[in-house]
């Protein structure tokens, strides 16, 4: 596995590069953990994830001072901005705090089993969170348990559909989940106005 620390678009013009490196090391350790444990042999970013990330960087860099000048920050002094991260390094750290495993191709004997276990854990975690939110809403009053169950089904339905026989787009899943949470939040605000 090749890991590239302080690569393209990881430094800044306003703070220490050390923070950038310190943000990347825990991310690398998350990537290496399952490989070192022998769960799989390799982890490679998908082409789609790499393209999506680079497109987002390019878009964020369009309105920056780095685009307005000829400098060593750009390829050949005038090309693509290859050096600077388009935002505060705290944002870079935030993005790297957890690996988005769906953006990686995992290979090896235990890869599928590892993905399956990870997905099960994620569903269990989401279910516990939804149950705790539901319990809080019931305890605070104003919302029927039946209504909470309907919202939980709305929230988890798309996730279960993704793991089942058909797949919804991630945007559709986020939209449905967001609507379910907004509905519960609005019901709480009706009961307890701010």
Strand, coil or helix: 137: helix
Phi, psi of 151 (to 5 degrees): -70, -35
On the CB side of 120, how many CA atoms lie within 13 Å of its CA? 6
Instruction: Look at residue 6 and tell me if it is in a domain.
Output: no
Q: How many domains does the chain have?
A: 2
Would residue 146 count as lying in a domain?
yes
Decide: 86 and 14 in contact? Cβ < 8 Å: no
34/99 same-domain check: yes
Q: Which of these ranges, 28-37, 39-48, 124-133, has the smallest mean pLDDT?
A: 124-133
Per residue in 53-94, pLDDT (tens digit) is: 999 998 888 888 878 777 777 777 777 888 888 888 888 888
Whether 92 and 170 share a structural domain: no
> Which domain covers residue 130, as residue numbers?
113-191
Which residues are CB-neighbours of 84 under 8 A, at least 6 positions away? 9, 11, 12, 13, 61, 64, 66, 73
- How far apart, in Å, are the Cα atoms of 90 and each of 14, 23, 44, 155? 12, 9, 25, 30
Average pLDDT, rounded, for the chain: 75
Q: Under a CB-based contact definition with an 8 Å cutoff, are residues 176 and 162 in contact?
A: no
Q: Are residues 23 and 82 in the same domain?
A: yes
Cα distance between residue 191 and residue 188, in whole Å:
5
Considering the domain boundaries, does residue 24 fall inside one?
Answer: yes
Global pTM reads 0.59
State the Cα–Cα distance between residues 35 and 29, nearest whole angstrom: 10
Q: Residue 9 domain-assigned?
A: no
Greatest mean pLDDT range, 11-20, 39-48, 72-81, 185-194:
39-48
Residues 134 and 103 in one domain: no
71: Cβ contacts below 8 Å, ≥ 6 apart: 77
Residue finishing a domain among 86, 109, 132: 109
Q: Is residue 99 situated within a structural domain?
A: yes
Q: Which of 28-37, 49-58, 112-121, 137-146 has the lowest mean pLDDT?
A: 137-146
Whether residue 163 is predicted with pLDDT greater than 50 in this model: the reply is no
Does some domain include residue 1?
no
Last residue of a domain, one of 55, 82, 109: 109
- H-only helix segments in the chain: 17-36, 47-61, 89-95, 111-140, 145-163, 170-191
Same domain as 166, residue 100: no
Mean pLDDT across the stretch 12-41?
Answer: 86
24 and 97: one domain? yes
pLDDT band at residue 52 using 50, 70 and 90 as cut-offs: very high
Q: Quick check: 137 and 78 in contact, CB under 8 A?
A: no
């Amino acid at each position: 596995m090749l890991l590239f620390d302080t690569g393209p678009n990881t430094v800044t013009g306003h703070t220490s590069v050390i923070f950038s490196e310190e943000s990347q090391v825990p991310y690398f350790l998350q990537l290496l953990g399952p490989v070192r444990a022998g769960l799989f042999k390799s982890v490679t970013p998908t082409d789609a994830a790499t393209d999506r990330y680079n497109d987002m960087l390019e878009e964020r860099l369009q309105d920056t001072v780095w685009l307005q000048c000829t400098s060593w920050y750009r390829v050949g002094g005038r090309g693509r901005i290859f050096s600077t991260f388009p935002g505060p390094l705290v944002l870079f750290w935030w993005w790297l705090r957890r690996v988005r495993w769906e953006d990686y191709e995992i290979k090896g004997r235990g890869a599928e089993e590892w993905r399956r276990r990870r997905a099960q854990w994620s569903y269990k975690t989401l279910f516990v969170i939804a149950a705790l939110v539901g319990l809080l809403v019931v305890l605070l009053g104003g919302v029927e348990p039946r209504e909470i169950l309907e919202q939980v089904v709305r929230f988890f339905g798309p996730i279960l559909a993704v793991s089942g026989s058909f797949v919804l787009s991630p945007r559709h899943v986020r939209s449905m989940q967001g609507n379910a949470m907004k509905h519960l939040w609005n019901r709480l605000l009706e009961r307890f106005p701010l």
